[in-house]
Chains A and B, each alone.
Chain A
Amino acid sequence: NAGVTQTPKFQVLKTGQSMTLQCAQDMNHNSMYWYRQDPGMGLRLIYYSASEGTTDKGEVPNGYNVSRLNKREFSLRLESAAPSQTSVYFCASKTSWAYEQYFGPGTRLTVT
């Protein structure tokens, strides 16, 4: 069991470039989440998917789009990266009948 995997681990983008962060889980979880973590700000929810086929905005959705490709995969897209999107991005998942969220190892993104 790999748990929650994220690719890439590190990425440097120039302002205006686009990219997609990939997340996959092999635990048959229904719900998946994307967070960003900035120093002094904790974890802030960008988007989440309560179940396959649904997505909803979190606290900080501006500048991002998501796709729940299937039950396993949930991707986060930055259409036109900005320096303010420099952050560590975490994907998480959980099952319907438990509260614990399982986090992936994170992607460190720098936008110059």
Chain B
Amino acid sequence: QQPVQSPQAVILREGEDAVINCSSSKALYSVHWYRQKHGEAPVFLMILLKGGEQKGHDKISASFNEKKQQSSLYLTASQLSYSGTYFCGTGGDNDYKLSFGAGTTVTVRA
């Protein structure tokens, strides 16, 4: 079952912050975050594992709440290059298979 992402879309000005949420109805072992720019392939950002720490990638960080079966991606001091669609992928006990959310489209304007 696909995880649910919110919001579906967000528009930011450069320097603003945003939070993207990902929740699942199933127990999670891992949450993977990818970004896809328009017309391109998805690119891996980071993974959060059950029992692991909060991760960061430049000014993009994420957290994983195992009890709530949720993850959040934080875009801090957004840059134009942050524009794209962000997908969370959730893994069960078989890390070969991921279920991806529908995506959150982020538009950063100057």
Contacts and interface: CB of A to CB of B under 8 A. Distances in A.
B102 A40 contact: yes
Nearest to A105: B41
Q: How large is the interface on A (under 10, 10 to 19, 20 to 34, 35 or more residues)?
A: 20 to 34
Interface of B: 2, 5, 30, 32, 40-44, 47, 87, 89, 95-103
Contacts of B102: 40-42
Given A48-B97, A58-B97, A59-B99, A42 B41 contact: no
A43 B98 CA distance: 9
Interface string A74-112: 000000000000000010000000011111111000000
Given A43-B87, A58-B97, A101 B44 contact: yes
Given A41-B102, A42-B2, A42-B101, A103 B32 contact: no
Given A90-B41, A106-B41, A50 B100 contact: no
Contact of B95 (A43, A56, A99, A104): A99
Contact of A43 (B42, B43, B96): B42
Given A103-B41, A106-B41, A44 B32 contact: no
Contact of B100 (A31, A40, A43, A106): A43
